């Protein structure tokens, strides 16, 4: 069982559009919810949160310390971090209350280990089709990542499925077992797929003006 980590937060009274003022001050709005309890409005220092996210996996259970070390403490997971699509800056974070004695469903990243001979020798292209898998376990048993060994991918079209991913003790896999996680394809197959996507995009773009023209004619009646 991985040791819990601590993060200090504070109650938040600033709500709605006024949270922009908090962000200007280097404070990130947050919410704590779950376990059929009312949602709590929180805030956390941006610098502290940035360092925490850089140093810990999102699957680690947190001692969420509300009001300092002598205040209330909650077991929680980071459920979602909202970022600006333009700058990547953190806008908001959601924490989920958990019980250490109750299983929870989460998504865990899949990392690849080794080198596929079909890529190194045969010149194939490795497609990482599933970046995360859905699992169920006690919060303390959630792995930081699931590791998949790709050393056995020796030929073009070889693949590994969800059922090939080894699971730590206490973890139940919920993702469909027959879904491919990684696959090696010939370079020409990748080029053909890209060409098909480009053709579809061009066709959609060509159809757009006609659709807009039709709407204009309808609106003129």
Residue range 154-199, pLDDT digits in tens: 999 999 999 999 999 999 999 999 999 999 998 876 666 667 777 7
Mind listing the domains of the chain with CATH numbers?
5-98 (2.40.240.10), 105-189 (2.170.120.20)
| pLDDT band, very low/low/confident/very high, at 16 (cuts 50, 70, 90) | confident
The pLDDT score that the predictor gives to residue 68 is: 60
Other beta carbons within 10 Å of 68 = 10
| pLDDT band, very low/low/confident/very high, at 45 (cuts 50, 70, 90) | very high
| Cβ contact 141:171 at 8 Å | yes
pLDDT surpasses 80 at 2: no
Give the whole-number percent of the chain exceeding pLDDT 90: 63
The pLDDT score that the predictor gives to residue 194 is: 67
The pLDDT score that the predictor gives to residue 137 is: 95
| Cβ contact 153:116 at 8 Å | yes
Pairing of strands 146-149, 27-34: unpaired
Which residues have C-beta within 8 Å of that of residue 203, sequence separation ≥ 6?
Answer: none
Burial of 118 (0-12, 13-18, 19+ CB in 10 A): buried
What mean pLDDT comes out for the span 13-41?
Answer: 90
- H or E segment to which residue 48 belongs: helix 46-55
Which of these ranges, 29-38, 60-69, 124-133, 151-160, has the smallest mean pLDDT?
Answer: 60-69
pLDDT surpasses 50 at 217: no
Q: Which of 163, 153, 156, 160 is nearest to 182 (CA)?
A: 160
The pLDDT score that the predictor gives to residue 190 is: 61
In eight-state DSSP terms, residue 28 is: E
pLDDT digits (tens, 9 = 90+) for 114-166: 999 999 998 899 999 999 999 999 999 999 999 999 999 999 999 999 999 99
The pLDDT score that the predictor gives to residue 191 is: 61
The pLDDT score that the predictor gives to residue 209 is: 58
The whole-chain average pLDDT of the chain stands at: 87
pLDDT surpasses 90 at 71: no
The pLDDT score that the predictor gives to residue 72 is: 85
SS3 call for 46:
helix
* Terminal Cα distance for the chain, rounded: 69
pLDDT surpasses 90 at 41: yes
């Amino acid at each position: 069982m991985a040791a819990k980590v601590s993060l200090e937060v504070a109650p938040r009274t600033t709500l709605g559009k006024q949270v922009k003022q908090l962000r200007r001050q280097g404070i990130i709005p947050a919410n704590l919810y779950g376990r059929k309890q009312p949602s709590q409005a929180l805030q956390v220092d941006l610098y502290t949160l940035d360092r925490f996210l850089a140093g810990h996996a999102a699957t680690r259970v947190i001692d969420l310390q509300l009001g300092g070390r002598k205040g209330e403490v909650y077991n929680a997971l980071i459920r979602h971090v909202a970022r600006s699509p333009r700058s990547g800056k953190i806008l908001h974070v959601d924490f989920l209350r958990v019980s250490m004695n109750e299983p929870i469903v989460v998504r865990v990243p899949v990392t690849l280990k080794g080198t596929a001979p079909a890529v190194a020798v045969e010149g194939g292209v490795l497609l990482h089709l599933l970046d995360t898998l859905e699992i169920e376990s006690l919060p303390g048993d959630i792995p930081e990542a699931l590791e998949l060994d790709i050393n056995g991918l020796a030929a073009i079209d070889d693949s590994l499925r969800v059922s090939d991913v080894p699971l730590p003790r206490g973890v139940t896999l919920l993702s469909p077992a027959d879904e491919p996680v990684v696959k090696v394809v010939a370079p020409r197959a990748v080029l053909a797929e890209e060409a098909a996507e480009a053709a579809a995009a061009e066709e959609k773009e060509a159809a757009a003006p006609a659709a807009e023209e039709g709407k204009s004619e309808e609106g003129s009646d």
